[in-house]
Amino acid sequence: MKRSGLLIALQVTMILIIGCATVPKVPLRAQRTSAVILAPKDIVWSLLVSEVGLNYPVQAIEKESGLLSTQFVQMSVGFNNMYMDKYVFPPRGFLATWGGLRMNMRIIAIETEPGKTKVTINAHYEAYEENVSKSWIVARSNGSVENQILTNIEKKLR
């Protein structure tokens, strides 16, 4: 009897251990944040301004220097920022709970040679930690927004 009781306890323990195991997340990979676009700066600039200006509040726009920057915008990432990995590599923190994600961008477009324009997008993200530090913590972009903007511009040039 003692042996069968021990065997049952061992089986229950194994079921609990296996049942509680989680499938590890696939590590996120960074996407591109810059591209050389085969078009003159004037054409790329107008596409860039329309792509960014329709979706983000523009703060500064300087065509001559090729600088475009946006104001901070709140990103919709669900309760406790459960979907923030769509945009960033989630920051870590001791007992951290998250309550918001915001982002702004600085974009530069430079014609490196006739008919070739390099566009570089720097998206700056901050996640609000609401449990311990109660402050905005910088989160590293995974390049998803930047890549989408570059892809949309390239598609419009085809």
Strand runs (DSSP E) across the chain, as ranges? 34-37, 58-62, 67-70, 73-75, 88-89, 98-113, 116-129, 135-141
State the pLDDT confidence band at 29, using cuts at 50, 70 and 90.
confident
15 in a domain, yes or no?
no
Count CB-CB contacts under 10 A for residue 124.
16
- The half-sphere exposure of 155 on its side-chain side, counting CA atoms within 13 A, is 7
Q: Quick one: pLDDT at residue 138?
A: 97
Q: Quick one: pLDDT at residue 31?
A: 95
Q: Which domain holds residue 65?
A: 30-157
d(CA 36, CA 25) in angstroms, rounded, equals 32
pLDDT in tens, 95-153: 999 999 999 999 999 999 999 999 999 999 999 999 999 999 999 999 999 999 999 99
Is the pLDDT confidence value at 1 over 90? no
119 in a domain, yes or no?
yes
Q: Which long-range contacts (CB under 8 A, 24 or more apart) does 78-84 make?
A: 81/127, 84/127, 84/139
pLDDT in tens, 3-22: 666 666 666 665 655 554 44
110 in a domain, yes or no?
yes
pLDDT in tens, 34-56: 999 999 999 999 999 999 999 99
DSSP 29: -
Is the pLDDT confidence value at 76 over 70? yes
d(CA 119, CA 138) in angstroms, rounded, equals 23
91 in a domain, yes or no?
yes
Q: Quick one: pLDDT at residue 93?
A: 87
Domain CATH for 94:
3.30.530.50
Tell which residue, 40, 30, 43, has the closest CA to residue 141.
Answer: 30
Give the CA-trace dihedral at 145, 146, 149, 151, to 10 degrees.
Answer: -110
Q: How many domains does the chain have?
A: 1
21 in a domain, yes or no?
no
